[in-house]
Chains A and B, each alone.
Chain A
Amino acid sequence: MFNGIQRKLLASVLAVTATVLLFANPALAAGEVTISHYFTGSLGRAGLEDIFAQFKKQTGITVKDSPIGHEDFKTGILVRAAGNDLPDVFSYWAGARTQFVADSGHLHPIDDMWKREDLGDIIAKPIAEGATLYNGHRYLVPFGYHYVGVFYNPHVMKKAGIKEMPKTWDEFKAMCAKLKSQGITPIALGSKNRWPAQFWFDYLLLRTAGPDYRADLMSGKASYTDPQVEKVMGLWKQLIDAGDFAPNSNAATWTDAADKVARGDAAMTLMGTWITGYWNNNKLEPGKDYEFFAFPTVTDGVPKAALGPVDGLVISKNANNVAGAEKLLTFMVANPGVQAKWASIQGALSANVKVDSSKYTSVMRHALKVIQNSDAFAFNYDLATPPPVAEVGLSMFAEFMNDPSGYKEMLKQTQAGASDAFAQQ
């Protein structure tokens, strides 16, 4: 009944299986470094490919990259960690997220590499300690960092007769009122993916309760039902109730909000410096078509903190090519040319102090100056608190933007969720 055809079929199936297993063996690919990152599309993929080509030319090592969209990356990389299938190198956000992965033992410490390459003299001091050290070891190399500021359209401000940007909360509210009186929506926010709303919470908390209290809240030592947090939500609610935000913020993405400001449909948006990369790609001119001002002072005497994320590169513990991975990390951060190129493509500030800041745009030079004059540099909310807690908080911010009236109840629920998440850590 079973003749030669069946035998051939079975043999073919076994041969295909063997071939797949043979080529799937990563040990065969020692001349390459695998990397996964979230710099897709306009976030700089093409530029990164050029940098990888340059790395291959210099070292002979091929970089095999597998980029994943920014939002999907957050989940995707942890799924790969769960399956012990991490690439040699992956991009990650410094702060609580890296701490979370480091705690699980999935990262390779780079203390030796750090000393060998003198990275302590290369990495910008404001971010070096907070971004690279976890549980007493260095795990992350900062690849670039960003500053969150109030980005505005100068043409709109000029049209509304606003010459001076606000330095205090009262001045800020007065500016919003003036814009509205001219029929201009003051603030665009694209909180569809929730995280853009966090910057309002971050800055209001930093400017009222200060960086130390915020650090306590992020680590679970303080409560979301504290009067300090209630005050923040109250101030934020004042803006929403006054109609200062464009409607339907939960239906828009951060690029929708950026487009609104660029078109002049709204005057400003609170966003990170990656918005400059987006606008530059859309042929907007820094300083002429867009500018920014630092988030205003709310309570006098509170240390002035700058806010933003640090993009970094880490090596996985089970990396097949640790030596190649370390070479790649060193190349990416220690080479001023690569850093300058990346900063320009992405609208980021370079983590390498040897990069000539005169090559930045006027807006990025302004951002660097603000950071240098700040008392502290804080990671934004979803990078400052553990991911399970951030998940609870981010949902609360979106709910708050929809209807802020019940914020005290929302804070109680958030505290319950946060306590639960901290307890399960």
Chain B
Amino acid sequence: MERHTRFWQCALLALPLLVFGVLVVWPLLSSFYYSFTNWNGFNPHYQFVGFGNFARIFTDHLFANAIINTAIWMAAAIIVPTCLGLGLALLIDSRVPGGAIFKSIFYLPICLSAVVVGQIWVWIYQPDWGLLNTAMSAVTGQPESYAWLAKPDTALYAVIIAWSWQQTGLAMVIFLAGLTAIPHDLLEVCELEGTKFRQRVWHVILPLLRPATVVVVALSVINSLKGFDILYIMTGGGPFHSSDTLAMHMYNESFKKYHMGYGSAISVVLFLIALSIIFIYFRQLKKVDEIYE
């Protein structure tokens, strides 16, 4: 009987494992393999270059630029939606009139694909008739035509705002779920003891929201690592690499310059960074579990 069960377990797991192997494991191993070659992406002939592609990373000023942008992107992708999401969750949880409607409105952007969000914000930032410049012109009385996405000083930050607009709703919903788990008796006791709202948030609510915060931060990090599509739609890493992140730099090297070997080396570095972050996340998750055990 035991053997029979084991057979069926293996049989039913075989196909998902095969799909996972073909779609995830095989490309991953291929990336490792090609990172040691000078393959251009479609020529059947290539040579092994050892660690040449990895050595090149240290002299590539565009890679350094992409690392800095990735750090800015990830920091902003964690801090901005988390803080805004927390603020909105506290506001809605405090039973403001129309809270349920606001909750739906703020959550709506997360239902849209990053491509749609990117296109909406491309129109908002359009220099001649975009909503942002039109609103600024109305406020200042001066014609505004700043090209937010076409200037190297603002392109990355303009995309971060669009990204945060989408991701805030997700953080808000997770924090709201966390807030419902906090006993109301506890908050009432605090209030009766004469604590101020700020003190209650800092000393009671935030510590009890730690599990929700871990989830929000982890999701923000994972989503920001995946945040390629919105950048591709809004700036394509431009103008002239000013909004290149590691993922975008990898794409440009692999598919626009046809340096697939070097692009694979960048993807290996990106993989190691993602792996480190996921490792830290699981450690934090374990700590949270220990608190509740």
A interface with B by C-beta (< 8 Å): 1-2, 6, 9-10, 13, 17, 74-75, 78-79, 81-82, 100-101, 103-106, 192, 194, 247-248, 250-251, 387-388, 391-392, 395-396, 398-399, 402, 421, 424
Contacts and interface: CB of A to CB of B under 8 A. Distances in A.
Contacts of A78: 41-42, 255, 258
B145 interface: yes
B87 interface: no
Contacts of B128: 248
A100 B43 CA distance: 9
Given A6-B8, A6-B12, A391 B256 contact: yes
Contacts of A395: 238, 240-241
9 contacts: A10-B11, A10-B12, A78-B258, A104-B42, A251-B147, A251-B150, A387-B256, A387-B257, A398-B238
B283 interface: no
List 5 A-B pairs, minimum CB-CB distance, nearest first. A251-B147, A251-B150, A2-B8, A250-B150, A104-B43
A1 B8 contact: yes
A252 B15 CA distance: 48
B82 interface: no
Query: DSSP majority for the B interface?
Result: loop
B230 interface: no
Contacts of B249: none
B178 interface: no
A398 B240 contact: yes
Contacts of A387: 256-258
Given A75-B255, A105-B43, 12 more contacts: A75-B256, A78-B42, A78-B258, A103-B43, A106-B42, A248-B128, A388-B258, A388-B259, A395-B241, A398-B240, A402-B150, A402-B240
Contact of B257 (A82, A194, A398, A421): A421
Interface residues of B, number: 33
Contacts of A104: 40, 42-44
A10 B14 CA distance: 10
Contacts of B15: 13, 17
Nearest to B257: A388
B255 A79 contact: yes
B5 interface: yes
A250 B125 CA distance: 13
Contacts of A250: 147, 150, 238-239
B126 interface: yes
Interface in B136-156: 145, 147, 149-152
B134 interface: no
A6 B255 CA distance: 44
Interface string B250-268: 0010011111100000000
B151 A402 contact: yes
A196 to B, nearest CB: 13
A159 to B, nearest CB: 22
Contacts of B257: 387-388, 391-392, 421
A79 B128 CA distance: 36
B146 to A, nearest CB: 8
A105 B42 CA distance: 9
Nearest to A104: B43
B4 interface: yes
A251 B252 contact: no
Contacts of B43: 103-105
A248 B258 contact: no
Nearest to A386: B258
B99 interface: no
Nearest to A101: B42
A81 B240 contact: no
Contacts of A398: 238-240
B164 to A, nearest CB: 22
Given A387-B258, A402-B151, A248 B240 contact: no
A424 B41 contact: no
B38 interface: yes
Nearest to A395: B240
Contacts of B241: 395
Contacts of A1: 1, 4-5, 8
Nearest to A16: B15
A103 B8 CA distance: 50
B99 to A, nearest CB: 39
Contacts of B4: 1-2
B126 to A, nearest CB: 7
A376 to B, nearest CB: 28
A79 B251 CA distance: 12
B145 A248 contact: yes
A391 B240 CA distance: 11
Question: Which one of B44, B238, B258 has the greatest number of beta carbons of chain A within 10 Å?
Answer: B258
Nearest to A248: B147
A78 B251 CA distance: 13
B107 to A, nearest CB: 31
Contact of B252 (A6, A13, A103, A391): A391
Interface in B1-43: 1, 4-5, 8, 11-12, 15, 38, 40-43
A387 B42 CA distance: 13
Given A82-B41, A105-B44, A424-B38, A399 B239 contact: yes
Nearest to A403: B152
A106 B41 CA distance: 12
Nearest to B16: A13
Given A82-B41, A105-B43, A421-B257, A192 B150 contact: yes
A199 to B, nearest CB: 18
A344 B8 CA distance: 63
A81 B255 CA distance: 12
A391 B252 CA distance: 9
Nearest to A79: B255
Contacts of A82: 41-42, 260
Nearest to A194: B238
A247 B258 contact: no
Contacts of A396: 240
A101 B40 CA distance: 11
A13 to B, nearest CB: 6
Contacts of A424: 38, 40, 259
